[in-house]
Amino acid sequence: MDVVAVETILAELHETRRELSETRQEVQETRRLLEKYHNPNRWISVKEAAEIADVSERQIFRCVKSGEIFSRKFGGSRRVSFASLVAYTAERAAKATA
């Protein structure tokens, strides 16, 4: 094996370790959020959902419209199912690492 091949393999290994580290951080953040919002039947505001998922409120509305995230209207305000938000963020994280 030549030096260039070894350097390429080492660079790929370094990149894989970096991606694994990022994934671990995402998992830790998800666990922290689950502990904070331990009630899976909880309904949260669109703003809270956007902050948790680290996306815009507009993206949350798009996900609601497409059916990726379940929501209901309570009075005049839209509330997002925390359980469906967790599923959405987990799926998003899995796609990002695939």
- For 49-91, write each residue's pLDDT tens digit: 999 888 999 999 999 999 999 999 999 999 999 889 988 888 8
Backbone angles phi, psi at 55, to 5 degrees: -135, 175
* 96 confidence band (pLDDT: 50, 70, 90): confident
What does the pLDDT look like over 44-57, one tens digit per residue? 999 999 998 889 99
- Whether residue 43 contacts residue 81, with contact meaning beta carbons closer than 8 Å, is answered with yes
Query: Which pair of tokens denotes residue 63?
Result: 């996900």
Rounded Cα distance, 86 and 95, in Å = 14
pTM recorded for the entire structure: 0.60
The domain spans of the chain are 3-97
pLDDT at 90: 85
Burial of 34-72, coded b for 16+ CB within 10 Å and e otherwise, reads: eeebeeeeebbebebbbebbebeeeebbebbeeebbbbe
